[in-house]
């Protein structure tokens, strides 16, 4: 066999050059940075980290940017300045020559990373964390030293650290090979928001801008600057009121209703592009409606809610007073009936306007309040108990409102008895607030989200609904003539109707025991004694000599003032303020965390939002939740029962009510196992409705 030429035995020259180049690259990769503007990297199986510059040379006195560059292995991530539910952000400590300064990290907007039941904020892949450096005015090589620590996580978390060195020469600045990484970070840097934003006490974030509409924003989420303010893993529901957008955030332990909330709003459009706004939301009100309100429907609901309120247990004592007044009008002239009906209606409307204005003012000031909020004050409850007790004494004949009191009413209304009708209207609304009638919830929610003038209008329509049965007397004169004729029966009826007043007063004293403990009950009882003495003294004054009459009235006034002096002490009583309702029904105290845990277990959950001062709530519990069949249904179907006590102000319960567009109790919600959406039950509850709602308990394995 002939020998081949030597050249034929050698590999091609191009292959040799390629092998040499590859070997050089491998040596460079192992030994140090890829380019002049990068430090020697620190490597691990999880990440390659280096210090990079956006320029290969710097101009003295002219700022440039450095960054810690992370090239993360697949499945690993690092954290943002607020890591979310877990983790820790990277920390940098630069060491620079005298005359040089380093700025803070300019954090790019992170992505949300689900880690089991937790939600964290961080970065994956190739990312840089830039910061600005201002060099000294003197030239020469600039030695830069940075010590850094970081936490890199996947299924496990590993703390890492390193020291980085970069020496930059002075000269004409030119973009380094890492400049595109800085540009990518700048694209994800949040820009200051041009839109005003408000954060409501219930965690609803409102951004006011006509540009933010469903046509432009398909998804949005908020990343707070600090941890512990909102629950990172909770769903952030996006809705669009008439203008701007609303994100439903879930407050966490560190959330403060009257403090601003700063962070980054991320919005994604229909094409998938994202924009990032740095905003600080001031405390305020966020619209509750997801679309412009349907005002005709809202006004109808407001009227029906006020009308049905006449049938609520809260209003029964005042219905008794109205029944007595109707009896007196049996043979009255039509214009007299109109005058009394008008005075009563004016009282109702004045009370609704005052109550609605107070709620709107509290909302504008950032307070979380709702229908019946005044009954969360034990001082108010005591005052109402005394008022109803005094009305009962008057009905029992202990004293009569006459003389100077009648003159006072004449000066106000111009006709004897009209002030009494006006006062009855005020009292009807005052004692009606512990109850929320059907249709009222939606109307109140819209009213509180609307401009103040419109909101007051909704409350006035509600008042018209409450007064409408009485208004029929003015519109249909024949109704008054059909009433029984006055007689001895009216005296007996008047005295009998005192007992609903006494019963209502006794119930309110029990409410005080729930809110202010034994000290509050003692103050209420002493006040009742003083008011009883005042009524007795006024009764004596009616038939006494002028001198004795003055002494009796002075004694009555002193007793009333003595009772009023007790109210501040009731306000500051603490006993029992945080005690849950003690019903013996096996319910657990409500908390959002407990609700989430039970749902994660696959349990059916029945949520009862109630209060000691809500008569409708107590009646529902007795009629629909206490029967043995219902308790057996809960037990056999392994239904978890959570009860939220709104007797005293509770921001977590207030926020939960607002999630369902409610501003008062009762509220009954059933989360069936396996169902995506909860079911809201009627406010007038029945045993059959509860059993139907909890279903067959499928998915409720015994635990």
Instruction: Dig out the tokens for 537 from the structure.
Output: 């003294």
pLDDT for 6 beyond 50: no
Same domain, 132 and 269: no
For residue 481, being part of any structural domain is answered with: yes
Per-residue pLDDT tens over the stretch 471-520: 876 677 666 556 566 566 666 766 776 787 787 788 778 878 777 777 77
Q: Which is it for strands 245-248 and 237-239: parallel, antiparallel or unpaired? A: antiparallel
Cα separation values, 609 from 101, 359, 548, 682, Å: 57, 20, 53, 13
Q: Greater confidence, 51 or 335?
A: 51
For residue 16, being part of any structural domain is answered with: no
Same domain, 506 and 597: no
Average pLDDT of the segment spanning 41-51: 95
Q: Greater confidence, 369 or 273?
A: 273
How far does CA 529 lie from the centroid of its chain? 41
- Residue 55's nearest CA partner among 243, 222, 182, 220 is 182
- Residue 162's nearest CA partner among 93, 71, 102 is 93
Among 137, 157, 187, identify where a domain stops.
187
Same domain, 136 and 41: yes
Q: Indicate the average pLDDT of the chain.
A: 78
Distance CA 249, CA 448 (A): 19
For residue 326, being part of any structural domain is answered with: yes
Domain holding 631: CATH number? 3.40.30.10
Length of the chain: 703
Same domain, 204 and 300: no
Same domain, 399 and 330: yes
Same domain, 146 and 207: no
Same domain, 411 and 448: yes
Phi-psi region of 372 (alpha: psi -120 to 50; beta: other; left: phi over 0): left
Local confidence band at 573 (pLDDT 50, 70, 90 cut-offs)? very low
Distance CA 554, CA 549 (A): 9
Task: Print the domain residue range for 353.
Answer: 295-572
Same domain, 178 and 201: no
For residue 161, being part of any structural domain is answered with: yes
Per-residue pLDDT tens over the stretch 60-71: 999 999 999 999
For residue 6, being part of any structural domain is answered with: no
Beta strands in 497-615 (DSSP E): 588-589, 605-610
What pLDDT shows up at residue 327? 59
Alpha helices in 33-163 (DSSP H): none
Q: How many CB atoms lie within 10 A of CB 629?
A: 11
Per-residue pLDDT tens over the stretch 421-479: 788 788 777 766 555 555 565 566 566 656 677 778 888 998 898 888 878 766 776 66
Which single residue is written with the structure tokens 């008022």?
A: 387
How many CA atoms lie within 13 Å of 159's alpha carbon, on the beta-carbon side? 6
For residue 22, being part of any structural domain is answered with: no
Question: Bridge-partner residues for 204, per DSSP?
Answer: 248
What pLDDT shows up at residue 572? 44
For residue 7, being part of any structural domain is answered with: no
Same domain, 183 and 195: no
Q: How many CB atoms lie within 10 A of CB 506?
A: 13
Alpha helices in 11-69 (DSSP H): 13-31
Same domain, 160 and 251: no
Average pLDDT of the segment spanning 12-27: 49
What is the DSSP secondary-structure string of 622-684? IIIISSHHHHHHHHHTT-EEEEEE-SS--HHHHHHHHHTT-SSS-EEEEE-TT-SS-EEPPSS
Same domain, 211 and 170: no
Per-residue pLDDT tens over the stretch 515-565: 777 777 888 888 888 888 888 888 887 777 788 888 888 888 888 888 888
Cα separation values, 644 from 61, 127, 378, 633, 647, Å: 62, 46, 19, 21, 9
Q: Structural domain tally of the chain? A: 4
Instruction: Dig out the tokens for 411 from the structure.
Output: 């000066």
Same domain, 275 and 396: no
Among 151, 171, 187, identify where a domain stops.
187
Give 173's contacts (C-beta < 8 A, 6+ positions apart). Answer: 55, 56, 57, 58, 59, 62, 64
């Amino acid at each position: 066999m002939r020998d081949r030429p030597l050249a034929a035995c050698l590999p091609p020259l191009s292959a040799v050059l390629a092998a040499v180049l590859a070997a050089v690259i491998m040596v460079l990769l192992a030994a140090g940075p890829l380019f002049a503007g990068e430090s020697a990297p620190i490597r691990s199986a999880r990440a390659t980290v280096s210090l990079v510059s956006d320029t290969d040379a710097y101009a003295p006195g002219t700022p440039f940017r450095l960054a810690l560059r992370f090239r993360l292995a697949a499945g690993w991530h690092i954290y943002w300045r607020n890591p979310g539910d877990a983790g820790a952000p990277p920390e940098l400590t630069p060491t620079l020559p005298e005359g040089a300064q380093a700025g803070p990290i300019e954090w790019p907007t992170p992505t949300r990373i689900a880690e089991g039941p937790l939600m964290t904020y961080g970065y994956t892949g190739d990312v840089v964390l830039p910061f600005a450096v201002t060099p000294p005015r003197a030239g020469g090589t600039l030695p830069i030293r940075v010590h850094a620590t970081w936490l890199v996580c996947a299924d496990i978390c590993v703390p890492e650290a390193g020291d980085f060195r970069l020496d930059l020469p002075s000269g004409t600045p030119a973009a380094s090979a890492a400049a595109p990484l800085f540009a990518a970070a700048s694209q994800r840097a949040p820009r200051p928001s041009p839109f005003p934003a408000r954060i409501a006490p219930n965690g609803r974030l409102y951004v006011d801008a006509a540009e933010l509409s469903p046509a432009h924003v398909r998804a949005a989420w908020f990343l707070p600057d600090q941890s512990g303010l909102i629950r990172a893993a909770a769903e952030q529901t996006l809705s669009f009121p008439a203008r701007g957008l609303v994100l439903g955030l879930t407050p966490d332990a560190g959330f403060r209703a009257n403090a601003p909330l700063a962070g980054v709003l991320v919005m994604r459009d229909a094409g998938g592009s994202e924009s990032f706004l740095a905003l600080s939301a001031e405390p305020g009100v966020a619209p509750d409606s997801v679309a412009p309100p349907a005002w005709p429907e809202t006004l109808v609901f407001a009227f029906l809610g006020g009308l049905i309120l006449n049938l609520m247990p809260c209003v029964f004592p005042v219905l008794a007073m109205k029944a007595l007044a109707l009896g007196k009008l049996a043979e009255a002239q039509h214009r007299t009936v109109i005058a009394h009906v008008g005075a009563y209606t004016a009282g109702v409307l004045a009370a609704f306007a005052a109550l609605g204005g107070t709620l709107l003012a509290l909302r504008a000031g950032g307070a979380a309040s709702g229908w019946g909020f005044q009954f969360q004050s034990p001082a108010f409850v005591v005052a109402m108990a005394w008022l109803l007790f005094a009305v009962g004494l008057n009905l029992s004949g202990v004293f009569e409102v006459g003389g100077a009191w009648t003159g006072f009413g004449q000066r106000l209304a111009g006709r004897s008895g009209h002030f009494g009708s006006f006062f009855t209207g005020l009292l009807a609304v005052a004692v009606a607030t512990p109850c929320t009638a059907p249709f009222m919830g939606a109307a109140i929610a819209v009213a509180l989200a609307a401009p103040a003038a419109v909101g007051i209008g909704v409350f006035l329509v509600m008042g018209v609904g409450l007064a409408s049965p009485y208004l029929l007397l003015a519109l249909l004169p024949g109704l008054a003539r059909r009433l029984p004729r006055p007689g001895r029966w009216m005296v007996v009826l008047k005295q009998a109707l005192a007992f609903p007043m006494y019963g209502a007063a006794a119930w309110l004293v029990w409410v005080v025991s729930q809110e202010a403990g034994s000290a509050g009950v003692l103050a209420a009882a002493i006040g009742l004694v003083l008011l009883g003495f005042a009524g007795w003294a006024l009764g004596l004054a009616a038939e006494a000599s002028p001198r004795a009459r003055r002494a009796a009235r002075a004694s009555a006034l002193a007793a009333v003032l003595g009772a009023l002096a007790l109210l501040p002490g009731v306000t500051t009583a603490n006993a029992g303020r945080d005690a849950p309702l003690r019903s013996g029904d096996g319910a657990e105290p409500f908390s959002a965390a407990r609700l989430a845990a039970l749902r994660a277990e696959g349990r059916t959950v029945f949520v009862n939002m109630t209060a000691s001062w809500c008569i409708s709530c107590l009646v529902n519990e007795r009629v629909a939740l206490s029967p043995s069949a219902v308790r057996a249904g809960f037990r056999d179907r392994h239904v978890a029962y959570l009860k939220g006590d709104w007797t005293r102000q509770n921001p977590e319960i207030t926020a939960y009510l607002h999630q369902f567009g409610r501003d008062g109790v009762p509220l009954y919600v059933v989360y069936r196992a396996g169902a995506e959406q909860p079911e809201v039950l009627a406010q007038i509850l029945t045993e059959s409705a509860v059993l139907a709602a909890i279903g067959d308990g499928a998915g409720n394995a015994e635990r």
